A and B are shown apart, each in its own frame.
Chain A
Amino acid sequence: DSGVTQTPKHLITATGQRVTLRCSPRSGDLSVYWYQQSLDQGLQFLIQYYNGEERAKGNILERFSAQQFPDLHSELNLSSLELGDSALYFCASSVATGTRHNEQFFGPGTRLTVL
């Protein structure tokens, strides 16, 4: 158990809909990262938050947005969903940002299926 929790575990929805994925980082971790893993793809970095502020952006679509709240949990919002958005979405956390080790602890993921 990494200490990172993600809800829900599974999500099935229809095209055009909007969903929210939730992540609670490990106790004490200030950084939260979101990744997308599509079929046969590696983990694609989407976005990072550090202590409530956006720190880095990766391959995140404009239809997607995220935020980190004062209690450090984070939400990833996916809107106008398309079939191609079906994927595993992972959240990870780390103690800080830009640390030498950059070791990130991953949650179990949310499997999103768009029908």
Chain B
Amino acid sequence: DQQVKQNSPSLSVQEGRISILNCDYTNSMFDYFLWYKKYPAEGPTFLISISSIKDKNEDGRFTVFLNKSAKHLSLHIVPSQPGDSAVYFCAASARNYGGSQGNLIFGKGTKLSVKP
């Protein structure tokens, strides 16, 4: 049973336009969410994160929005650049019983292609 779902395997956008990548989760205990970017032949790299006490976090061209009631988060990239072409993974974690942050649960990823 997938706790973190990225329902779009791929997304293609034009350079300069907005890219919106979506992620849904089922576990209401998740309280921290991260986005990772992965280029071919490389490991994933951390992009941006958001705590459940916020509904938005912005870092340059990247903004993550969290809708807790819908158990949905999205990553917006504006403006999109060809170098953004990569696979984007959504990940979530919940606090353990002892209060520490638990391990990351990843979605299957969305492959973004930004066309010049």
Contacts and interface: CB of A to CB of B under 8 A. Distances in A.
A100 B99 CA distance: 10
Q: How large is the interface on B (under 10, 10 to 19, 20 to 34, 35 or more residues)?
A: 20 to 34
Interface stretch (B14-22, B40-48, B78-86): B40-48
B63 interface: no
A49 interface: no
B45 A42 contact: no
Task: Tell which of A40, A43, A92, A101 has the most Cβ of chain B within 10 Å.
Answer: A43
B104 interface: yes
B28 interface: no
Contacts of A108: 41-43
Contacts of A25: none
What secondary structure prevails in chain A residues at the interface with B? Answer: loop
B93 A102 contact: yes
B100 A106 contact: no
Interface string B79-116: 00000000001010100101111111111110000000
Interface of B: 4, 6, 32, 34, 36, 41-46, 49, 51, 89, 91, 93, 96, 98-109
